[in-house]
Structure 1
Amino acid sequence: MASRGLNKISDILPLLNDRGIDLSSSQIYRLIGQKPERISLQLLFAVADVLECTVEDLCAYEAVDARTQLRKADTDESTVASLKDSTRPRRARVYLADE
Structure 2
Amino acid sequence: MKRQVSYQWRLRETMAAHGMFAATDLAPLLAERGITLSSVQVWRLVTQTPERLSLPVLAALCDIFGCTPDRLIATKAENAPARRTATDPDEVTELAPIRPKRARIQPEK
Q: TM-score range by the shorter chain?
A: 0.5 to 0.7
Q: Does residue 1:32 correspond to 2:40, yes or no?
A: no
Q: Give the equivalent residue in structure 2 for 1:72.
A: 82
Q: Which runs of 5+ in 1 are unaligned?
A: 79-99
Larger radius of gyration: 2
Count, aligned residues: 72
Q: Which runs of 5+ in 2 are unaligned?
A: 1-14, 87-109
TM-score by length of 2: 0.57
Q: Give the equivalent residue in structure 2 for 1:12.
A: 26
State the Cα RMSD in Å: 2.0
Structure with greater helix share of residues: 1
Q: SS of 1:61's equivalent?
A: strand
Q: Give the equivalent residue in structure 1 for 2:57.
A: 43
TM-score by length of 1: 0.62
- What is the distance in 1 between the residues matched to 2:52 and 2:74? 14
Identity between Structure 1 and Structure 2 (%): 42
Q: Which has the higher contact order (CA 8 A, sep 6+)?
A: 2
- In the TM superposition, residue 72 of structure 1 has moved relative to its aligned partner by 1.7
Structure with greater strand share of residues: 2
Residues 35-58 of structure 1, C-alpha deviations (whole Å, 9 max, x = no match): 110101111111121122210011
User: Deviation above 6 Å: which 4+ runs of structure 1?
Assistant: none
Q: Does residue 1:56 correspond to 2:70, yes or no?
A: yes
